[in-house]
Structure 1
């Protein structure tokens, strides 16, 4: 049995053993033995009683943890927390909202079981990796900056793809001959609130991007948000005269650094969320079925899904700031 001396222990193990042996085996009075080892009579009696009952093992320090913890989270609930962490790779904010628990409780459970932070997990394998911590930034008010981007996504053939039938199946080979093509998801994400407006469109041409931005601007205006600046990549549709006209007067157009998608990090993070929580969250039997689920997921994202980057709030809660304090 291993032994580690407590930092505040009055006696080492050998000292406790000698004290107990003097009292139990050599019949020293407890008070005399206490004076000999410069401890209180109560301490001397405690170690003597433990030696009498359990021998030398009774002189080892036990755990300081309580025998029972009535207020501890039930084991079944802890297993649900860990299962959500493993299967869906959710943070404490989302798990707490899903299970109607306090975020601090979920965080303590994850810490107790030494679960690594999500930022330290490899997305493909789920194994811990060491990554540099990104520098966070955020604009002070809604509309100060809106991130705009296009996500190109392969369409699902009718009857479902390999996620339903398997890559070696005849159905998958037949689906490949359909050549369903691609869908283009146009996004606009507000930097401060993370409020997102998104549409599934057929291409990424300049007129399509310009029309999308006009509808996105009207969407944000419906919440009282006035756009001051827009951040896009260097795609030809965004550098076109049509998109520049659609921006409208007073809107500054900023471009990301070439080959640096991190510059447009807010919308890139949105792309990751929709991929794991909507696009590939479950098998779909057609592109129409998946597209029909998109509006529901987008509403959930804006109105109900807690966002770790804004302290566990929902995007809509940051829009409806009745005090007008966006700092």
Structure 2
């Protein structure tokens, strides 16, 4: 496709060249008719004589040779220094005797100019993936938030007042253990669709297998109501997801279960990132006078996240990707 400022399209070039070659117009007259220069008209005429209509198409502007191009072996040394030793462009340039700008350009082409693009464990570039359609893969996990005492937690009322509220709430609920107040933990079971980033979450009393199975069944039904069939589920290696009960539940649902590699939370990184968004946008976003008040706010926040919040990876609200499911337009 011609660039935005091209005076002639491939079709116009062909007409121009035919006027000169086949109808024997002069290059000056033909160029005037197409509002271009005579040298340009002659160029297209020559290409038409040699290559025919195929010669009217755009060619790559890449030069045939690049004498100053960084040699491949030197590129490998730059990349290796970045991967293995986390050196910056200035340090690599000083070590190899190269300009810093050259090293930086190589790192940009290799997409490792930022250390955040490199896996800390392996030193390899982070490989991002996305499954092809909604339901192809869902991620499941559990995140924990300490319950909020009546009157508000320490994040908003201060440590001293927060401890008083915690002690008072523990006495009221009878959860003081060995003199230490314990007001409980909110176990938030989360499910997120890999393709659309649409999220489902429930607050439960524990993270046992039977609880996780119940969440999976309800999440699968929730997605089914929106036209999404869950095919695979990805989890970490928690005890609930390693149980036979979980395996049997996945079999009954017709879902293929896959677990992440041990000590590799990056594999389940999309739901880990969602947990951070959940904490910032809901759990600790504002003052809550009690745990029940915070729990009551979760459904509204999830609706905003799915339907109205712009997701940087999607480029729109996550729910927008459920409007183009496989088979909808066939």
TM-score by length of 1: 0.57
Pick one of 174, 185, 190 that aligns with 1:187: 190
| Cα drift, residue 164 of structure 1 | 2.8
Q: Which residue of 1 aligns with 2:149?
A: 157
Paired residues for 1:71-150 under 5 Å: 131-132=116-117, 134-150=126-142
Quick check: 1:145–1:229 contact (8 Å CA) kept in 2? yes
Quick check: 1:165–1:172 contact (8 Å CA) kept in 2? no
| Cα drift, residue 226 of structure 1 | 1.1
| Cα drift, residue 322 of structure 1 | 6.7
Looking at structure 1, the residues matched to 167 and 285 of structure 2 have their Cα atoms a distance apart, in angstroms, of 21
Looking at structure 2, the residues matched to 300 and 161 of structure 1 have their Cα atoms a distance apart, in angstroms, of 24
| Cα drift, residue 241 of structure 1 | 2.0
RMSD across aligned positions (CA)? 2.1
Quick check: 1:231–1:255 contact (8 Å CA) kept in 2? yes
| Cα drift, residue 249 of structure 1 | 5.0
Pick one of 263, 270, 274 that aligns with 1:270: 274
The SS at the match of 1:318 is: helix
Query: Is structure 2 residue 256 aligned with structure 1 residue 256?
Result: no
Query: Is structure 2 residue 160 aligned with structure 1 residue 168?
Result: yes
The SS at the match of 1:237 is: helix
Paired residues for 1:1-327 under 5 Å: 131-132=116-117, 134-169=126-161, 171-176=162-167, 178=170, 179-247=182-250, 248-310=252-314, 312-321=315-324
Q: Which residue of 2 aligns with 1:117?
A: none
* Count of residues in correspondence between the two structures: 196
> Could you report, residue by residue, the CA deviation over 1:9-32 in whole angstroms, capped at 9, with x for unpaired residues?
xxxxxxxxxxxxxxxxxxxxxxxx
Looking at structure 2, the residues matched to 323 and 244 of structure 1 have their Cα atoms a distance apart, in angstroms, of 27
| Cα drift, residue 246 of structure 1 | 2.0
Q: Which runs of 5+ in 1 are unaligned?
A: 1-128
Looking at structure 2, the residues matched to 140 and 323 of structure 1 have their Cα atoms a distance apart, in angstroms, of 10
| Cα drift, residue 285 of structure 1 | 1.1
Looking at structure 2, the residues matched to 296 and 174 of structure 1 have their Cα atoms a distance apart, in angstroms, of 26
Quick check: 2:140–2:234 contact (8 Å CA) kept in 1? yes
Quick check: 2:149–2:165 contact (8 Å CA) kept in 1? no
TM superposition outliers: structure 1 runs of 4+ over 6 Å: none
> Could you report, residue by residue, the CA deviation over 1:149-181 in whole angstroms, capped at 9, with x for unpaired residues?
001111101111112321133x52341462211
